A = this chain, B = another copy of it.
Amino acid sequence: MPHDGEWAATTKGEATAARIRAVALDQFSQLGFERVTMAGIAKAARVSQPALHYHFEDKAHLWRSAMLGLRAVIQEEERLIEAAADAPPLTQLRVAMRLFLQISWKHPALGRIVALEGMAGGERLEWLDRHLLGARNRRLAAIAGEAIAAGDLLPYPPEQIVVTLQTAAVGVINLAPLMRTTFDCDVAADRAIHDEMILEAVLGGFLTEKGRRAREETQ
């Protein structure tokens, strides 16, 4: 009895289902939903194409199931952000951005999928909002709002700040193929420099005078 929400123990079936999910996540994030074929996933996962329909009802279910593999990652992120809830809002934001960068390097699929579906709209975006990202993003916007109220962050719309910070952070990661084509450079090579750039220059650019002084004291 396959394609159900939750999965049985470590049976043979779950092993291949996991392999399929991993391949699917990879392909969906690189190519987008439509460019990916069930046959292509099947081949990469070394199973026949009907095996996919055995484990997952259809292509949409497979997509969602693959996304759910990232839910643990996001939940852990949310947990770590909440753990800093007593710190000043600006510190929380910095923590959140560090986590965001970490996740973006470790799971580049996530940022690409958000970009793909966030531009197109539709039911997959709604699903992502409801089951994966909405809560976290609204939480971050609230923190940004607090940081503004505290006088540490420039008073721009918190939602715009959050999304701008995030898109800046994943920009060169998502656009790795473009970086190679246009500049012939490998992004992953200087990850440390990149992360410092995002934290210092981009996040730093949103700080007020007061926020900048606070930063120097804290570090």
Contacts and interface: CB of A to CB of B under 8 A. Distances in A.
Interface of A: 30-35, 112, 114-122, 125-126, 129, 133-134, 137-138, 141, 154, 156-157, 159-161, 163-164, 166-168, 170-172, 174-183, 185, 187, 190, 193-194, 196-198, 200-206
Copies of this protein, total: 2
B32 A177 contact: no
Contact of A172 (B112, B138, B141, B163): B163
A197 B164 contact: yes
Given A197-B156, A202-B205, A112 B119 contact: yes
B120 A35 contact: yes
A118 B164 contact: no
A178 B205 contact: no
Name the 7 nearest CB pairs between A and B, nearest first. Answer: A205-B205, A167-B171, A121-B177, A118-B178, A168-B168, A34-B34, A159-B183
Given A33-B35, A160-B172, A205-B206, 8 more contacts: A120-B177, A134-B182, A138-B183, A154-B200, A167-B171, A167-B174, A202-B202, A203-B205
A137 B178 CA distance: 11
Nearest to A185: B159
Contact of A129 (B31, B35, B141, B181): B181
A158 to B, nearest CB: 9
A171 B164 contact: yes
A178 to B, nearest CB: 3
Contacts of A30: 119-121
Given A156-B197, A156-B201, A205-B205, A182 B129 contact: yes
15 contacts: A30-B121, A112-B119, A119-B178, A122-B177, A156-B197, A159-B182, A159-B185, A163-B172, A164-B171, A164-B172, A164-B202, A166-B171, A167-B168, A201-B205, A201-B206
Contacts of A116: 32, 116, 119
